[in-house]
Amino acid sequence: MGRKTIKRTVWSLILGALVVSVALRADEPSRRCVYKGQWSYTDASQGSGPIQWNIVEIEECCGIWALRLEGDGADEYGSYRLDGSCAEGQCSIHQKYVSGQLEGRAYTYTGEISWKVMLSEMSGLNGKWGEDGQGTKGNFQITNMSCS
């Protein structure tokens, strides 16, 4: 084999590897979901409210079961962005307000997963929420997850 042939072969292999990695990344299974539930303060007299998150669940590679979560939503306090992850029986979801009364404030929801089908399909979440940097403020439950 000549030098040009070896160079061409090496470049073909590199290009092939890039194409395969991009194709695999584009084919990561994902689905659109709506998570519905309720949040409340630890001291119930401080109030509670509904949760309705528009989420895209993106399967992560190489674990027993893991998801990356991305989404958005709006409530009486403003519009927000969501990002988070689920693995090892728990989910952690970060909510950051981008407009409205709570613009710039961020909250984290961390909860245990309830399973419809073990390590395959969630039926709900149950856990704690708090404003970032201020500790736990209360509880939350996601009791309805509809996905397509």
pLDDT 10s digit of each residue in the chain, 148 long?
666 666 666 546 555 444 333 333 445 678 999 999 999 999 988 999 999 999 999 998 776 789 999 999 999 999 999 999 999 899 999 999 999 999 999 999 999 999 988 877 889 999 999 999 999 999 999 999 999 8
In a domain, residue 16? The reply is no
Residue 8 lies in a domain: no
11 domain-assigned: no
Question: In this structure, is residue 19 part of a structural domain?
Answer: no
pTM of the model: 0.78
CATH number, domain with residue 61: 2.40.128
Q: Residue 46 has what DSSP assignment?
A: G
82-90: long-range contacts at Cβ-Cβ below 8 A with a sequence spacing of 24 or more? Answer: 82/53, 82/54, 82/55, 84/109, 85/60, 86/113, 86/122, 87/60, 87/63, 89/113, 90/127
Question: Which residues span the domain enclosing 49?
Answer: 29-147
Q: How many domains does the chain have?
A: 1
